[in-house]
Amino acid sequence: MHGVTTYNFSGQDFLALSDFHSSEIMYLLEQAVKLKKKQKQGVTHKPLEGKVLAMNFDKASTRTRVSFEVGIVQLGGHPIFLSTKDIQLGRGESIEDTAKVLSSYVDGILIRTFEHKTVEKFAAHADVPIINGLTDLHHPTQVLADLLTILEHKGKLAGLKMCYIGDGYNNMTHSLLEGAAKVGMDISVASPFGYEPDHMIRDHAKMIAKQNGSSVVVTNAPDEAIVDADIVVTDTWTSMGMEEEADKRKEVFKPFQVNAELCAKAKDDYIFMHCLPAHRGEEVTAEIIDGPHSVVFDEAENRLHAQKAIMEALMWD
C-alpha cells in the first residue's frame, strides 16, 4: 500500500467519502489493516480510553450497530445507544439543540438516519466529530470496509474494475462511485431506466476518476457493465423506507439479478460483494452469494476494522 505515515483527523466529521483526499482514504485503510492485525494477534490497543460515542439510530441495523459498539469498546471507549424514541429529538427537540447538548457529554456522535441533511445539520452544530452510519444518500462507513475487503483479496485498488448492478439511486451506489473514483478504480453502474445514480454525485465521481486515471460508466445494460469486472457488487432492490414500492421494484429489477449467466462475463477470478442483508432469489442468486467467488462475510467482518480506524482517527486527541 502507499500513503503517508500520519494525518490529523482529530475533530473532523465523516459524512461522505468525497470529503476526503485519496491519500487520506488510503491512510484510513492502512490503519484498518494494522488494527485488524493487532486484534488477530491479541494485542491490546486502547487509544480511546475514557472516550464516549453516542449512537443515534433512526434506522434498524445489525452490522453498523454491532461493529461500532464492539469497536469503541475494543479501543477503550464506551458506546451509548440512542434511538429516536429514547431521546427528546423524537418529541420535537431540534437537531441543532440536540447536537449542542450531546456535544457537551460525549466525544463523538454516530448517526444512522434517512435524510442526509440531518447529519449535515448535526455536523454544523456539534462540537465533536459526526460519523455518518448511513443516510438515504451515502453509506461511507460500509464502503470503507468494502475497499478494505477488495485490498485484502486483490492486493491493490487502483486499476481494478468494479461493477455495481441494481438500484443506482442508492446510498451504496453513491458511496461506491465516490470511493472507487478516489482510489483510482474503474467503476461501471448498471441500473434500470429511471433508477440511475444522482447526477451530481455521478458527475463529481467522473471528475475525480479522471484526475486519478480511472473511469466512471453509468448504463442500463448489465451485460455490458459487467464485462471483465474484478469486483461484482449488488444491493437489495428495496431499501429501508421504500417498502411500499417492493412489488413494483421486483418487476423492474428482474433483468438486473446477479446470477451465474451474468457473472460469466466478469473475470474468472472476480469477487462478489453485498453489504447485506441479502434477499436470495431477488437481487442475487444463492449460487452466487454462497458460492466460491463470494466474500460477503469477510466484507461484513471488515466493518469492525474499518469503523475502528474511523473512530481512532476522528476521536483520538
Binding-site sequence positions for L-ornithine: 171, 235, 239-240
Selected catalytic residue, list 65, 303, 305, 307: 303
Binding-site sequence positions for carbamoyl phosphate: 61-64, 88, 112, 139-142, 275-276, 303
Q: Name every residue whose Cβ is closer than 8 Å to that of residue 90 and which is 6 or more positions away in sequence.
A: 83, 84
Selected catalytic residue, list 142, 163, 167, 186: 142
Q: Which whole-number Å values give the CA distances from 144 to 2, 208, 260, in the listed order? A: 16, 17, 27
Per the annotation, the verdict on 112 as an active-site residue is: yes
Nearest to 179 by CA among 171, 267, 66: 171
Per the annotation, the verdict on 280 as an active-site residue is: no
Binding-site sequence positions: 61-64, 88, 112, 139-142, 171, 235, 239-240, 275-276, 303
Chain centroid to Cα 228, Å, comes to 24
Selected catalytic residue, list 235, 249, 257, 305: 235
Per the annotation, the verdict on 235 as an active-site residue is: yes
Q: What is the four-CA torsion angle of 205, 209, 212, 215, rounded to 10 degrees?
A: 160
Selected catalytic residue, list 138, 274, 275, 307: 275
Residue 277: asked if its preceding bond is cis (omega within 30°), the reply is yes
Selected catalytic residue, list 112, 174, 202, 249: 112
Q: Which residues pair with 134 in a beta bridge?
A: 112
Residue 192, all three cell numbers: 434500470
Q: What is the four-CA torsion angle of 172, 203, 110, 49, rounded to 10 degrees?
A: 100
Per the annotation, the verdict on 142 as an active-site residue is: yes
Per the annotation, the verdict on 275 as an active-site residue is: yes
Residue 212, all three cell numbers: 486519478
Per the annotation, the verdict on 263 as an active-site residue is: no
Q: Which residues are catalytic?
A: 112, 139, 142, 235, 275, 303
